[in-house]
Chain A
Amino acid sequence: MTCDVCKNSDATVFLTQIVEGKMQKVNLCDSCAKAKGVDDPTGFALADLLLGLGAAQEIERGSGSSQRCPACGFSQADFKKTGRLGCAQCYETFSEGLNSLLKAMHKGTHHTGKVPARIARQVERENALKILQRDLQKAVADENYESAAQIRDQLRQLETSTGS
């Protein structure tokens, strides 16, 4: 069996780690194992190593090997080769496989940090639209047509604004 990293030497270190109930196997030669710090299991981050080895299988499991990203033509075989994705759209295309990979790799599954101002405004606008639509329905249901007309005007104004 050859080493998964350098693909040259014979593998002498066989590493198995279970992440989220899934078994990941990596075979390494002596020098690659040392270089990756595998000889010190407590200080070893499998996520780094999984990338490009286990990750490709993960994506294949999620989306099948033949799928290509409609935006950039990237396939899971390309991921296997490079350990990098093709474009932003790839995150949607390969979302199934990527999600479990990200779960194993990161602290959480949801971004809680900075949001670009442009997108924050967009979200704000969408929320405002939702509230107005709900108010409009309620006003109509209550046969409060004067109020409904006002809300409708507000909605139109908001819908025609560019949101940026």
Chain B
Amino acid sequence: MKIDTLLGHPSDWLRGDGPHHQIVISSRVRFARNLRTRAFPGWAKKAERAQILEEIKPQVDDLPEMQDAFSEYMQELTALDKQVLVERHLISREQAAKNAGSAVVINKRQTLSIMINEEDHLRMQALRSGLQLKNVFKLLDKVDCALEQKLDFAFHPRLGYLTACPTNVGTGMRASAMVHLPALVLSDQINQIIQAVNKIGLAVRGLYGEGTEAMGNLFQVSNQTTLGEKEDEIITRLNQVIEKIIEHEQNARQLLLQKRLSTLLDQIGRAFGILTHAHSMTSKEALNLLSFMKLGVDLGFFPDGHRPVIDELFMETQPAHLQKNSQQKLQVEERDALRAGIIREKLKQFPEPDVGPNPEPENGSSEKPDDE
């Protein structure tokens, strides 16, 4: 399959039809695996890396899941194509920086992606829409079982799967979910959540940008440790925590509707106004405003049928997607103008926020949202 054919298909996980899809965008599991007798990719000499690649790639291409897949050496991809794959979460930034000696194999539905010679010989991931970590794990486990028949993986009786970085040793597994938490951010509860989750050995990170500078109110929740806990224990624990986070986000949304309706309407109204009228927009601003539009759909201020447009814009307004779709390399200012244009065009048919079913709050405090 050619790169343009692959990219022409929207990723399955972007369809937004999985369980809890309003808050959980996607679930992802990745395994790190290495060959027993070979130096890790970062330490192997060029010739050995090439041998490793030729040893692994045919086995990956042979997988029943990878029939009709996109399979390519990194040096054959343009910088822009690599960046598009990064934005779709199909390869890592680290893999995007690789050239000869590394490769990537991705199935057509883009639910399965296998990187060869990233930090480890094999980095394989499965990715689905919504909260379905167990299904995603099962899919990846099957692929792993098939590969271990053909490849001699480095495994230590006490330490488990051996990885280039000691932080991944053991299961070699990182399970994560991408969550959209605008109400927790808006009500200043997000830091509490991050701290609570960190205390129990899980990590919450902003999806774009680190720490509190999370753009688009998108966060990634994942396990931090890989040794001393079984795979299904890690996944069960993570799943429980994510369900709790969903609950907190839903409560925060209800509270906003009841106590701070005017603030909420103001944010959504401004997002709508700016997105439909701006002529220059950075990807950061777009992400943040689209986040409020998404919240607006979730809360019924926009008809549910308009949800896919917003979900698509999250991806299409990313820098590499923008350039790929316009078939040219663009300067930052040109990109911002193009982005604003695409958003205006896509939202042309988008109705204004419908504030009807939720009347303005009583006693006239609506004009002063931050009143003491």
* A72 nearest CB across to chain B (Å): 5
* A71 nearest CB across to chain B (Å): 8
Assess A98 versus B166: contact at CB under 8 Å? Given A91-B159, A115-B155, A117-B145. yes
Instruction: Map CB proximity to B onto A26-46 as digits: 1 under 8 Å, 0 otherwise.
Output: 000000001101001011110
Q: CB distance A107 to B43 under 8 Å?
A: no
Instruction: Map CB proximity to A onto B201-243 as digits: 1 under 8 Å, 0 otherwise.
Output: 1010000001100000000000011111111000000000000
Question: Chain A residues near B169 (CB, 8 Å)?
Answer: 91, 102, 106
* B12 nearest CB across to chain A (Å): 25
Q: CB distance A43 to B43 under 8 Å?
A: no
Question: Chain B residues near A71 (CB, 8 Å)?
Answer: 39
* A125 nearest CB across to chain B (Å): 14
Tell me, yes or no, whether B38 is within 8 Å of chain A by CB: yes
Interface of A is mostly: loop
Assess A106 versus B211: contact at CB under 8 Å? Given A83-B165, A111-B156, A119-B155. no
Instruction: Map CB proximity to B onto A80-112 as digits: 1 under 8 Å, 0 otherwise.
Output: 001111111001000000100110011111111
Tell me, yes or no, whether B36 is within 8 Å of chain A by CB: yes
A113–B211 Cα gap in the complex (Å)?
31
Tell me, yes or no, whether B101 is within 8 Å of chain A by CB: no
Interface size on A, residues (CB 8 A): 43
Tell me, yes or no, whether B199 is within 8 Å of chain A by CB: yes
A38–B42 Cα gap in the complex (Å)?
29
Q: CB distance B167 to A47 under 8 Å?
A: yes
Tell me, yes or no, whether A118 is within 8 Å of chain B by CB: yes
* A104 nearest CB across to chain B (Å): 10
Contact of B162 among A37, A88, A106, A118 (CB under 8 A): A88
Tell me, yes or no, whether A116 is within 8 Å of chain B by CB: yes
Question: Chain A residues near B162 (CB, 8 Å)?
Answer: 88, 91
